[in-house]
Chains A and B, each alone.
Chain A
Amino acid sequence: MRTYASRKMLLSALALLVATAAWGQDSAHRASDDAVKTADVLIRGAKVYTVSGRGTLEQGDVLVRGGKIAAVAASTENLQAPGASVVEAKGRALTPGIFAGLSHIGLEEISAESSTVDATLDFKAPAWDQKWRPEFDVTPAFNPRSTLIPVVRNEGLTWTVLEPASGDSIIAGQGVAVTLDGTLGVASRAALEGSRSLFVQLGSAAESHSGGSRAAAYMLLDQAIGEARSQGAIGQDALLHPAGRAVLARYLSGGRVVFAVERAADILEVIAFAERNHIKAVVSGGSEAWLVAPALARAHVPVILNVLQDLPTDLDRLSSRLDNAARLQRAGVMIAFSTGESHKAGTVRQLAGNAAAHGLAWDAALAAITANPADIFGLGATRGRIEKGQAADLVLWSGDPLEVTSAADQVWIDGRAFDMRSRQTELLHRYRGAKAR
Chain B
Amino acid sequence: MSKRSVAFISVLLTSCAALPPAKESATSPHSAQPTPTSARAPYSSTYEARPSPATLIRGGTILTGSGNRLDGDVLIVNGHIEAVGPNLHAPEGARVIDAKGRWVTPGIIDIHSHLGVYPSPQLKALSDGNELTSPVTPNVWAEHSIWPQDPGFETALEGGVTTLEILPGSGNLIGGRSVVVKNVHATTYQAMKFPGAAQGLKMACGENPKRVYGSKGQAPSTLMGDVAGYRQAFADAQDYKRQWEKYERELAEYQKKNANDKEGSGEKKPPPSPPKRDLKLDTLADVLKGDIRVQMHCYRADEMATMLDVADEFGFKIVAFHHAVEAYKVADLLAQKNVCAAMWADWWGFKLEAYDGIQENIALVDAPANSCAMLHSDSEDGIQRLNQEAAKAMSRGVRAGLDIPPERAIRWLTLNPAKALGIDKQTGVLDAGKNADVVIWNHNPFSVYALADEVYIDGNLMFDRAHPPARPPSDFMLGQPDTEGTP
Which A residues fall within an 8 A CB radius of B?
A: 1-5, 8-9, 12, 102-104, 108-113, 119, 148, 151, 163, 165-166, 201, 205, 260, 264, 284-285, 290-291, 306, 308-315, 317-319, 321, 327, 338, 340-344, 346-347, 350, 353-354, 356-357, 398, 402-407, 424, 427-428, 431-432, 434-436
Taking residues whose C-beta sits less than 8 angstroms from the other chain, chain B's interface range is 35 or more
Chain B residues whose C-beta falls within 8 Å of the C-beta of A108 in the assembled complex: 1
| 6 tightest A-B CB contacts, nearest first | A353-B448, A340-B2, A112-B351, A343-B349, A405-B395, A8-B401
Residue pair B3, A201 in contact (C-beta under 8 Å): yes
Scan residues 323-381 of chain B and give those whose CB is less than 8 A from a CB of chain A. Answer: 328-333, 346-352, 355-360, 364, 366-367, 369, 371, 380-381
Residue pair B155, A111 in contact (C-beta under 8 Å): no
The minimal Cβ–Cβ distance linking B161 to chain A, given in whole angstroms, is 14
Residue pair A165, B3 in contact (C-beta under 8 Å): yes
- Determine if B20 is an interface residue (Cβ-Cβ < 8 Å): no
Once bound together, how far apart are the Cα atoms of A260 and B305, in whole Å?
Answer: 44
Residue pair B346, A347 in contact (C-beta under 8 Å): yes
Residue pair A312, B120 in contact (C-beta under 8 Å): yes
Contact A113 B2, CB 8 Å, known A357-B451, A428-B360, A435-B332: no
Residue pair A109, B1 in contact (C-beta under 8 Å): no
Residue pair A111, B351 in contact (C-beta under 8 Å): yes
Chain B residues whose C-beta falls within 8 Å of the C-beta of A327 in the assembled complex: 485
Chain B residues whose C-beta falls within 8 Å of the C-beta of A342 in the assembled complex: 1, 349
Q: Which of A110, A148, A290 contacts B485 (CB 8 A)?
A: A290
Residue pair B449, A111 in contact (C-beta under 8 Å): no
Scan residues 419-454 of chain B and give those whose CB is less than 8 A from a CB of chain A. Answer: 446-451
Chain A residues whose C-beta falls within 8 Å of the C-beta of B404 in the assembled complex: 2
Which B residues fall within an 8 A CB radius of A?
A: 1-7, 9, 13, 67, 120-123, 151-152, 155, 207, 301, 305, 328-333, 346-352, 355-360, 364, 366-367, 369, 371, 380-381, 384-385, 388, 391-392, 394-396, 399-405, 408, 446-451, 476-477, 480-483, 485
Q: Which of B9, B151, B477 contacts A112 (CB 8 A)?
A: B9
Residue pair A2, B367 in contact (C-beta under 8 Å): yes
Chain A residues whose C-beta falls within 8 Å of the C-beta of B6 in the assembled complex: 165
Residue pair B121, A436 in contact (C-beta under 8 Å): no
Residue pair B405, A1 in contact (C-beta under 8 Å): yes
Residue pair B352, A344 in contact (C-beta under 8 Å): no
Contact A344 B121, CB 8 Å, known A2-B403, A407-B399: no
Residue pair B13, A404 in contact (C-beta under 8 Å): no
Residue pair A436, B120 in contact (C-beta under 8 Å): no
Contact A110 B366, CB 8 Å, known A342-B1, A356-B449: no
Q: Which of B7, B332, B347, B391 contacts A344 (CB 8 A)?
A: B347
The minimal Cβ–Cβ distance linking A111 to chain B, given in whole angstroms, is 4
Residue pair B346, A436 in contact (C-beta under 8 Å): no
Chain B residues whose C-beta falls within 8 Å of the C-beta of A111 in the assembled complex: 1, 9, 349-351
The minimal Cβ–Cβ distance linking A206 to chain B, given in whole angstroms, is 8
With CB as the reference atom, state the residue of chain A lying closest to B405: A1
With CB as the reference atom, state the residue of chain A lying closest to B305: A436
Contact A315 B401, CB 8 Å, known A166-B3, A291-B485, A436-B330: no
